[in-house]
Structure 1
Amino acid sequence: MKNYLSGIIVLLFYTTAGSMTADNRFSPDKTLWYKAPAVQWEETLPVGNGRLGMTPYGNPFKEHVVLNEISMWSGSKACYDNPDAAKSLPEIQRLLAEGRNREAQELMYTTFVPTMTTDGGTYGSYQMLADLNIDLSYGSDKVSDYTRWLDLTEAAAYTSYSISGTEYVQECYVPRGEDVMIYHIKASRPGSINLTASLSRPERAVVSSAGDNRLLMTGTLDSGAKGIDGMKYALAAAITASGKGASTHSTDSTLAVANADEVYIVMGAATTYLYGALYNTAALNAVNKATAGTKALAALKEEGIKRHRMLFDRAGIELEEGHAAALPTDRRIEAFQTQSEPSLAALYYNYGRYLLICSTMPGGMPPNLQGLWANGVSTPWNGDYHTNINVQMNHWPVEPGNLSELHGPLIDLVKRAVPNGAHTAKVFYGPEARGWVMHMMTNPWEYTDPGQHPSWGATNTGGAWLCAHLWEHYLYTADRQYLSEIYPVMKGAAEFFKSTMIKEPKRGRLVTAPSSSPENTFTVGDDPTPISVCMGPAMDSQIIRELYGNVAEAATILGVDSLFADSLRRDMALLPPDSIGHDGRLMEWLEEYDETDPHHRHVSHLYALHPGNGISASLTPELAEACRKTLERRGDGGTGWSRAWKVCFWARLGDGDRAYKLFKALLTPAYIYNSTDYQGHGAGTFPNLFCSHPPFQMDGNWGGTAGISEMLLQSQDGFINMLPALPDEWQSGSLHGFKVRGGATADIQWKNGKVTSATITGGPVSSQKIKVPAYVRHISVNGKDVKADEFIHLDLSLGEKAEILFD
């Protein structure tokens, strides 16, 4: 509590010392900025290169920078086989078929759960790497002209301030394409920098000297197994200083500088997960290579910016600025609830793409629930890959946001999980089970078993849902070689359901059993017991129908497995159709059970509306209307990521204003500074634009980013639909670099709520169909008049541009 209160005092000082007016250095759609240091971690500013990350607090006196490495996971590979699972499966299915869901669920509590064998091991958790703590001294404690900011185009976080007439600038950056994290401070007056730096970690860390002006932190994380080491890690740090009178000094635990003009602290980190036995050497070598000289360090930053911008500059949006655009970001978020400020949505979208670029890289690991950034050794929900919505939501912006290569780590994670998923299939579903299965969560140790509690862990379509991402990557790239590589994975997922689904007795439909509608519960008859376990929830049927269709189409494209593809098409007709209940809502379960919570955060049975495309406002209007009524019933509340998903739902329904209302709800301040303390900590958005579940998890950021994209451009119905859900608030604006299915790129401008021009650049699929807005009366393509029918058709070679004007 003492540190928290001292932080409040610091914040009070900087708030009163600094103006709340605009800073003209900052772009309102590409910069986050503040007039006080961070007091809580959810105010820090994230930087990263896809593997390494930093979040500095920006304190001029006691700077604190949290360091991250994407593979810092406790736990280990383990066997969770339960021999009772497959034995009990027929009885569980019989009870479900007889409508005795509670009894089936109770049986599952004791038999259909993972168990630990004598081999030991544990699921583990994503963890922070370390804390970099820097004590700075100046001879005065009076700070003026304080500002800290995050430049999205540079992927660098800055802090600037003046003390006794000397100007200081601190910066943190992690150059993309390099293996180091860098803290840099520079002063306007020679010899003004005096600091002492140290590394620490809450547990499992030893810090020692690694030579002159070098420290090395090493440790071994908990494996959960007796006598077996967990993941090992190393963090190396070096300090360099320049200036006529500068001097450096190091001990076994600190790095110190006196009377310097400029200082760099350079850090490298590695784990055995990514580097094997050479992890220690890799961390030290990265630091030694980077500290060849201060000029080399400056060059690293410039090269990192170039690599970052090769991704970041591909796409973005621009919207009109409201009055609140001039405010610091934390105040801007607060004002957004009562003021018109379209450009905050542009910042949010651009920030979402930025976070993706910084938290993953080709050949690395996919972003987890924390993205890349964590500030503890026990992250919420283990910081893992939840496969019943969350890790998928992390990747919704990847393809339309022109970041296709960042899908690679997720695709690789799925491939690696297949052998264990095949083992899980036979252990839990019997020796006749074919293919592979993944339930509702996974981790770097390729966990595929059910969750620990059947009420939420029974969902077995996690792997099938991930296969939708494998297919989507193909839809945007049209890469046949890639399709041939992932086809066996998709086929294996389909084989699992073909071999394990049963026919429910009332209608003879093929259903999953047992399963659940993720994390939601219902009651049966007069029994008030909340029930999760059921047969054939709507989401399962929607995902499996989509999987079967994708596998069948892939087989046709590749010219393989025609008989298997035909069998999948036949089975699709036997799956439960999307059904409308007596109240007009889309049914979540096979029966119209009473929901325990009508406003539950999961709306999984609308999967076919988004991210799937089985329900469409234009192609299946009755089902779309049932989805609308479902959303009305669910309400606009929920956790942060739930609100983000609802933005996407309403955008697919073509209701831009309702989608925008949900977006504003997503940006509800998770806490507000109120002169003496922080009020809140609910669902919404933290001052650094991190999403609050609560607590923080990154999926809401990427769900919100995807929602904005869906409001502006859609292509899931077989045609390009421009501004399909444009809210009234966004009267004028532009977007560039958005991708559509088939790989074409779209740039669009609009004014007064109407599209005025567009440029379509051809992708690997030459044929493009574009929906013409109803208000358009005249169209020209590359200067030639085109009849304004419902659609226009383009045939573009790769890279060929079509300039379209609408009147």
Structure 2
Amino acid sequence: MDCLWYKKSAKYWDEALPVGNGRIGAMVYGKVGRETIQINEESVWSGDERNRINPDSLKKLSEIRQLLDDEKVSRAQRLAVDALSGTPQYQRTYQTLGEIKITHHGIEDETESYKRELQLDNALALTEFTVDETVYRQEVFASYPDDCIVIAISSKGKKKLDFHCRLDRGRYYDRAYANGQNEIAFEGNNSGLGFYGALRCVECDGKVETIGEHLIITDASNAILLFSAATTFRSKTPDKMTTDILDKAAGRTLEELRIRHLADFKPIYGKMRLELPQDEELEKLPVDERLEQMRQGKDDMGLIALYFHYGRYLMISSSRQGGLPATLQGIWNGEIEPAWDSKYTININLQMNYWPVDVCNLSECYEPFFSLLERVRQNGKRTAKEMYGCRGFVAHHNTDIYGDTAPQDQYIPATYWVMGGAWLALHIMEHYRFTKDQEFVKKYYGILEDAVLFFEDFLIENRDGYLVTSPSVSPENTYIMKDGTKGRMCVAPAMDCEILHNLFRDFLEASDILKIENDLTEKVREMQTKIPPLRIGKNGQLMEWMEDYEEAEPGHRHISHLFGVFPGSEISQDDTPELMEAAQKTLENRLAFGGGYTGWSRAWIISWWCRFGKGNLAYENLKKLLQDSTFDNLMDNHPYWNSRGKVFQIDGNFGAIAAICEMLVQSQNGKIVILPALGDTLSEGKISGLCVRGNGQIALEWKNGKLVLFKIKMKNKEKVILEYNNVTREYMLEKDREYIFDKNLIRINKENN
């Protein structure tokens, strides 16, 4: 069983254990006596939709461009803050819905035994402890088919259950009350967005009553509670929507609810499996103690495998069909005013969230991403027209539940960046490469088309005849000009050029699939030739800006100009070895100055080392991520100015498991490379259910750092190029047949040929 377990309850939110069904999430503390279950509903945001587009943007755009062209960067930046910033500058914030408070009377903190665990393969949070010869047990799971959180509490021994519950949101809700004798509810309104939540006791062998805002259970040995919630984002009557959900679920027994939950969750979770050698002594320790051992320098392959499965668990639990995509914190946020609004940062973070979805066999979790992208496209059309006088759509470096595309913040190194929507659009063809689903391309082709149309109008020709973005930034970095002036805004940073290269390629590939040939495809082919090329600087590094500037912060967390190495692939050892060498030099320089100090940045670094074929360095950075950027509940963390000095961000979890896949198999640029960045420490293991581009799945086993067996099954008839240990072979594989190869990539089961 894949399980995180602990000997003590959670003291802080970032020690609690997450459950979720994509729409509703909970963080279970497992406290003795006074339990807290923090709850989220995906559409509880700080307000309703609004238009924030600055009315003076278009009038001042040409002036800002001219100032940048004249190298009057400080004046350009000052004008941009006034003319380009959103009005108001902030998008909506994702908020906690509140907490379920459960107070057990007569139970103190002292226990005779205690254990809490998160069973990943059952998506179940379990707390069990013994007090006064009585065993108390609490099970919590979030059911997707029944759309609610199930809380089963029992006692066995001398004492009966005696507890009361209430729903709490501090000072940020309007009403709390009882609905009859077995249900309590609370509700409120956030600037036009109404919310409602209810907790109902549906089964109890003792007494159930409500007094005031409290739900009270006494003289019982078993009690089943159901919680659900809704907002006006999805329903004009969230109270009725919630009641309907609870009514349906209440008609089922606990066993029926559990069976339906497992029948939904297990097939998704079970499609992929990573096995690494386990240390029997380490396996006897709770996760927090194992993580501390790793912080002290010990290797723990079993913990890495558990961390990998935990990442897949988090994706399934926070991104399901019909819902919203995973935010900066997935679906779990315990604050009214969380770090960076816990929304969708789209200059790396949302994109990183979805890097593992295809390769980790979780394609069904992708739908919320593309649904949000469609909202971004619609709002982005208005933003493109009113801010820049352009066709198509644009988004900047953040968006929210409504797909808001106007600039967020007045943070010059990030706010005035027009590439966010284009980067999101790249996921369309990347998903296609894994699935070969032409209907999917047809459905979302308009997004690619509108992204291209924006840049046809937005790009301007510079003195050298190149088409450049202006104004722009290299996400969130600062350069130093020759006169010592620090600049953030710029023209055509390397990352913009790399994203444009990918966007134009993807649009033409999609057009070819759909047999579309028109004036726009012809224009894009012409534009492709005018994108500024990537260049190598005086120190042998890949240049981040058009000029070979010095960096104000050589160890900056963003290394955006390596986009072309990963997640892009236009920089490669086979095709552009000089640029590949310069990119590696860039990474080495950043790390030498302390880069990679955030979880998401470290996760990206692992993937870059994988693309460079440096397995030992990939593993070293994976270990550092666990040592330095991981909470005891295995959630990723980011430095922050709160009492903990850090805050949860889910992108590092997702980026890291995508990187682990990159260590084992890479399938970009038309070939499948086996064990490209294994390293010495990950010398033995097995993986199955890993997906590759071309619509295939693979399984492989390795020992002593060497391939033992490789299996592949393609869902289409496909020509594949396999590479391992400098041996390359080409095969034509039939649809839905499994092919098995030895360490020399020679077919073992030739009867399938």
Q: Which band: TM-score by shorter chain? A: over 0.9
In the other structure, the counterpart of 1:250 is 210
Match of 1:601 among 557, 560, 579: 557
Distance apart, 1:123 and its partner CA: 2.2
Alignment of 1:365 onto 2:334: no
Distance apart, 1:429 and its partner CA: 1.2
**Matched ranges for 1:418-429 at <5 A:** 418-429=377-388
**Matched ranges for 1:142-153 at <5 A:** 142-153=110-121
Match of 1:272 among 210, 228, 232: 232
Alignment of 1:667 onto 2:626: yes
In the other structure, the counterpart of 2:99 is 131
AA of the residue aligned to 1:44: A
**Matched ranges for 1:54-133 at <5 A:** 54-116=26-88, 123-133=91-101
CA contact (8 A) 2:610 2:677 kept: yes
In the other structure, the counterpart of 2:748 is none
In the other structure, the counterpart of 1:782 is none
In the other structure, the counterpart of 1:457 is 415
Alignment of 1:769 onto 2:721: yes
In the other structure, the counterpart of 1:22 is none
Alignment of 1:540 onto 2:496: yes
| C-alpha distance in structure 1 between counterparts of 2:219 and 2:166, whole Å | 18
AA of the residue aligned to 1:316: R
Q: Which moved more, 1:130-139 or 1:548-557?
A: 130-139
Distance apart, 1:515 and its partner CA: 0.2
Q: Secondary structure at the match of 1:77?
A: coil
AA of the residue aligned to 1:712: L
| C-alpha distance in structure 1 between counterparts of 2:422 and 2:695, whole Å | 24
| C-alpha distance in structure 1 between counterparts of 2:132 and 2:597, whole Å | 49
CA contact (8 A) 1:214 1:250 kept: yes
Match of 1:791 among 700, 714, 729: 729
Q: Deviations over 1:109-153 (max 9, x none)?
A: 22222224xxxx962210111211111134665412211110000
Q: Secondary structure at the match of 1:527?
A: coil
Match of 1:489 among 447, 457, 461: 447
Q: Deviations over 1:445-486 (max 9, x none)?
A: 221112332332011100100011111111111111111111
Distance apart, 1:748 and its partner CA: 0.8
In the other structure, the counterpart of 1:299 is 256
Alignment of 1:579 onto 2:548: no
In the other structure, the counterpart of 1:508 is 465
Distance apart, 1:768 and its partner CA: 2.3
Shift of the 122–304 alpha-carbon distance from structure 1 to 2, 3 Å rule, reads: same
| C-alpha distance in structure 1 between counterparts of 2:575 and 2:282, whole Å | 40
AA of the residue aligned to 2:574: S
Q: Deviations over 1:552-594 (max 9, x none)?
A: 1111111113442232122111111111111111000000111
Q: Secondary structure at the match of 1:174?
A: strand
Shift of the 139–328 alpha-carbon distance from structure 1 to 2, 3 Å rule, reads: closer
In the other structure, the counterpart of 2:429 is 471
| C-alpha distance in structure 2 between counterparts of 1:138 and 1:301, whole Å | 30
| C-alpha distance in structure 2 between counterparts of 1:756 and 1:658, whole Å | 23
| C-alpha distance in structure 1 between counterparts of 2:43 and 2:109, whole Å | 39
Q: Deviations over 1:600-627 (max 9, x none)?
A: 0000000011111111133322211111
In the other structure, the counterpart of 1:156 is 124
| C-alpha distance in structure 2 between counterparts of 1:620 and 1:527, whole Å | 33
In the other structure, the counterpart of 1:237 is 199
In the other structure, the counterpart of 1:689 is 634
Q: Deviations over 1:75-94 (max 9, x none)?
A: 22222232321121112112
Alignment of 1:396 onto 2:352: no
| C-alpha distance in structure 2 between counterparts of 1:66 and 1:738, whole Å | 34
CA contact (8 A) 1:617 1:654 kept: no
CA contact (8 A) 2:719 2:730 kept: no
Distance apart, 1:103 and its partner CA: 2.3
CA contact (8 A) 1:743 1:765 kept: no
Q: Secondary structure at the match of 1:755?
A: strand
| C-alpha distance in structure 1 between counterparts of 2:109 and 2:403, whole Å | 51
CA contact (8 A) 1:75 1:122 kept: no
Match of 2:339 among 353, 365, 380: 380
AA of the residue aligned to 1:40: Y
Distance apart, 1:241 and its partner CA: 4.7
**Matched ranges for 1:559-574 at <5 A:** 559-574=515-530
AA of the residue aligned to 2:379: N
CA contact (8 A) 1:555 1:562 kept: no
Q: Secondary structure at the match of 1:711?
A: helix
Distance apart, 1:160 and its partner CA: 1.1
Shift of the 339–329 alpha-carbon distance from structure 1 to 2, 3 Å rule, reads: same
Q: Secondary structure at the match of 2:722?
A: strand
| C-alpha distance in structure 1 between counterparts of 2:285 and 2:652, whole Å | 24
Alignment of 1:209 onto 2:178: yes
AA of the residue aligned to 2:320: M
Match of 1:44 among 16, 35, 47: 16
Alignment of 1:625 onto 2:581: yes
CA contact (8 A) 1:84 1:111 kept: yes
| C-alpha distance in structure 1 between counterparts of 2:55 and 2:229, whole Å | 41
Distance apart, 1:508 and its partner CA: 2.1
Distance apart, 1:405 and its partner CA: 1.8
Distance apart, 1:668 and its partner CA: 2.1
AA of the residue aligned to 2:263: K
Query: Where does structure 2 lack aligned partners over 5 or more consecutive residues?
Result: 640-646, 745-753
RMSD over equivalenced CA pairs, Å: 1.6
| C-alpha distance in structure 2 between counterparts of 1:666 and 1:472, whole Å | 26
Q: Secondary structure at the match of 1:806?
A: coil
Q: Secondary structure at the match of 1:37?
A: coil
| C-alpha distance in structure 2 between counterparts of 1:463 and 1:764, whole Å | 31
CA contact (8 A) 1:651 1:659 kept: yes
| C-alpha distance in structure 2 between counterparts of 1:485 and 1:409, whole Å | 14
Residues matched between the structures, number: 730
CA contact (8 A) 1:138 1:163 kept: no
| C-alpha distance in structure 1 between counterparts of 2:716 and 2:424, whole Å | 24
| C-alpha distance in structure 1 between counterparts of 2:105 and 2:203, whole Å | 16
| C-alpha distance in structure 2 between counterparts of 1:205 and 1:615, whole Å | 55
| C-alpha distance in structure 2 between counterparts of 1:649 and 1:752, whole Å | 24
Q: Secondary structure at the match of 2:472?
A: coil
CA contact (8 A) 2:675 2:724 kept: no
In the other structure, the counterpart of 1:413 is 372
AA of the residue aligned to 2:692: V
CA contact (8 A) 2:676 2:724 kept: no
In the other structure, the counterpart of 2:681 is 729
Identity of aligned residues (%): 35
TM-score by length of 1: 0.88
| C-alpha distance in structure 2 between counterparts of 1:412 and 1:532, whole Å | 32
| C-alpha distance in structure 2 between counterparts of 1:140 and 1:804, whole Å | 60
**Matched ranges for 1:510-525 at <5 A:** 510-525=467-482
CA contact (8 A) 2:376 2:421 kept: no
Q: Secondary structure at the match of 1:114?
A: coil
| C-alpha distance in structure 2 between counterparts of 1:71 and 1:613, whole Å | 35
TM-score by length of 2: 0.94
Distance apart, 1:633 and its partner CA: 0.7
Distance apart, 1:180 and its partner CA: 1.2
Q: Deviations over 1:487-515 (max 9, x none)?
A: 1110110111111111222x221110000
In the other structure, the counterpart of 1:178 is 146
| C-alpha distance in structure 2 between counterparts of 1:266 and 1:368, whole Å | 25
CA contact (8 A) 2:375 2:402 kept: no
AA of the residue aligned to 2:699: D
| C-alpha distance in structure 2 between counterparts of 1:499 and 1:406, whole Å | 34
AA of the residue aligned to 2:312: R
Distance apart, 1:707 and its partner CA: 1.1
Distance apart, 1:218 and its partner CA: 1.2
